[in-house]
Amino acid sequence: MAATKVVLAGASGNLGPAVLKELLDAGLEVTIFTRQNSNKTFDSRAKVAAVNYDSVDALKAALSGQEVVVDTLAPLDLGLHLRLIDASVAAGVTRFIPSEFGADTTNALAAKLPVYGNKVAVQEHLKRVSAESDLSYTLVLTGAFLEFGLQTGFLVNLAGPAELYDGGEGQVSISSLPGIGQAVVGVVRNLDKTRNETVYVSQVNASQKELLGWSGKRVETKVVRTEDLERLSYEEIKKPQPDLMVFAVGLLRRAIFGEGYGGLFDSEKLSNELLGVRSFTEEEVREIVRKFS
């Protein structure tokens, strides 16, 4: 079973534009939800609805006749995501794709990290409502974002000095922004096979040292233990005014690079083929890495 009418909530952020492009290129009828006070402009092939995210009733009305909701909103406000889910149930939406798109939040160690508290709460809510209504869900886990991770230095700081987490030799699962958009299209086209499932996608497994090598750059490096990042993050959280950038990034790196946290997806679990997401050749990754060098 495939759907045609898709709502994309959060089409203007880091991930949203790539998902929007793939949905539109796939010929789907896309309606973008954007905040009423947002002044973003979007691809004219999509309809745009300025919505009141504070009201389940208003969201329900805006969702009338829609089949799939793709949530690429920032994960910070739990209530926002829960209202979008409740409105989707009320409007008779078929599939909800929550704002996951990262580490394996179903891994027991990762799920305990406070930075994933909202994502885990959304998963629990989806499990509850899907048992009692016609709404089903698909969790799309993609590993780290390639371009975002190189641009921000989250994966590795190509400008140097580069921190090498737990030595920088462990491979992690990584996807490109277009690849993640293609995975979302793949779910919309395969609603039966992805019903109430967690799907894993990865376009390349790479270590930080491999990424550095592919960049062709020689930068100063320093080994950092992700165990220390986790400890420092909890110390930061206890402060009266914790710095989100310090504790969130530390915990996200723990989940991506820490041993046992599921940062490297089991190749047998990957749904690349089902969802139509191609793995990169080494040369393709080198080319992307060099663009950010």
Ligand X SMILES: NC(=O)c1ccc[n+]([C@@H]2O[C@H](COP(=O)([O-])OP(=O)(O)OC[C@H]3O[C@@H](n4cnc5c(N)ncnc54)[C@H](OP(=O)(O)O)[C@@H]3O)[C@@H](O)[C@H]2O)c1
Antiparallel, parallel or unpaired: β 162-165 and 221-224: parallel
Shortest CB 53 distance to ligand X, Å: 5
Measured from the CB atom, the residue of 148 and 234 that comes closer to ligand X is: 148
Residue of the chain from 30, 80, 87, 201 that contacts ligand X (CB under 6 A)? 80
Site for ligand X in 2-41 (CB under 6 A): 10, 12-16, 34-35, 38, 40
Question: Residues 241-248: contacts with CB within 8 Å, 24+ apart?
Answer: 247/114, 247/115, 248/115
Q: What distance separates the 2 farthest-apart alpha carbons in the chain?
A: 56
Shortest CB 38 distance to ligand X, Å: 3
Measured from the CB atom, the residue of 20 and 164 that comes closer to ligand X is: 20
Residue of the chain from 96, 101, 137, 292 that contacts ligand X (CB under 6 A)? 101
Q: Alpha carbon 193 to chain centroid distance?
A: 20
Task: Give the interface segment with ligand X, choosing from 86-94, 122-130, 142-150, 214-222 (CB under 6 A).
Answer: 142-150
Residue with the two structure tokens 């709460």: 121
Where do runs of H (alpha helix) occur along 30-77? 56-62
Shortest CB 280 distance to ligand X, Å: 16
**Residue of 144, 133, 132, 140 whose CA lies nearest to 190:** 140
Contact flag: residue 56 with ligand X (CB under 6 A): no
Task: Give the interface segment with ligand X, choosing from 85-93, 97-105, 201-209, 261-269 (CB under 6 A).
Answer: 97-105
Query: What is residue 169's three-state secondary structure?
Result: coil
Measured from the CB atom, the residue of 101 and 214 that comes closer to ligand X is: 101
Measured from the CB atom, the residue of 34 and 194 that comes closer to ligand X is: 34
Q: Are 73 and 58 in contact (CB under 8 A)?
A: no
Contact flag: residue 144 with ligand X (CB under 6 A): yes
Where do runs of H (alpha helix) occur along 78-145? 78-91, 108-111, 117-132
Tokens encoding 23: 């949905």
Chain residues binding ligand X by CB under 6 A are: 10, 12-16, 34-35, 38, 40, 53, 72-75, 77, 80, 99, 101-102, 144-145, 148-149
